[in-house]
Amino acid sequence: MKKRSQTKLSAEEIELLRLEALKLKRIQEQLDILRKSQEFTEEPGKDESLDRFNEKRRASKIEFDPVSIYILDDPQAYIKKFPKKFYNLLRKLNGIDPKSNKKPNIFGHYTNLIIYRRLFPGSFQKLKARNRKNENGVRDFYHHQFLTPIGIELVLGFIQDSIDWMEKYSTMHEFLLAYCREFKIQYTYQPNLFE
Q: Are residues 103 and 142 in the same domain?
A: yes
CA distances from 3 to 6, 10, 30 (A): 9, 22, 41
Classify residue 6: in a domain, yes or no: no
In this structure, the number of other CB atoms found within 10 A of the CB of residue 164 comes to 11
Contact 91, 102 (CB under 8 A): yes
Classify residue 4: in a domain, yes or no: no
Q: What is the pLDDT of residue 4?
A: 47
Q: What is the pLDDT of residue 70?
A: 85
**Domain span at residue 157?**
84-182
Half-sphere exposure of 81 (CA within 13 A, CB side): 24
Q: What is the pLDDT of residue 193?
A: 53
Q: Are residues 89 and 151 in the same domain?
A: yes
Q: What is the pLDDT of residue 64?
A: 62
Q: Are residues 44 and 89 in the same domain?
A: no
Q: Are residues 41 and 89 in the same domain?
A: no
Q: What whole-number distance in Å separates Cα of residue 174 and Cα of residue 85? A: 19
Task: Count how many domains the chain has.
Answer: 2
The string of DSSP letters for 96-111 reads S-TTS----THHHHHH
Sites in the chain below the pLDDT cut of 70: 1-9, 13, 31-50, 52-54, 56-64, 189-195
Classify residue 191: in a domain, yes or no: no
Q: What is the pLDDT of residue 195?
A: 47
Q: Are residues 118 and 177 in the same domain?
A: yes
Q: Are residues 122 and 46 in the same domain?
A: no
- Angle between helix axes 149-166 and 11-40 (nearest 10 degrees) is 120
Q: Are residues 89 and 177 in the same domain?
A: yes
Tens digit of pLDDT for each residue in 46-99?
566 667 666 766 665 556 677 788 889 899 999 999 999 999 999 999 999 988
Q: Are residues 58 and 131 in the same domain?
A: no
Classify residue 169: in a domain, yes or no: yes
Q: Are residues 38 and 93 in the same domain?
A: no
Q: What is the pLDDT of residue 170?
A: 95
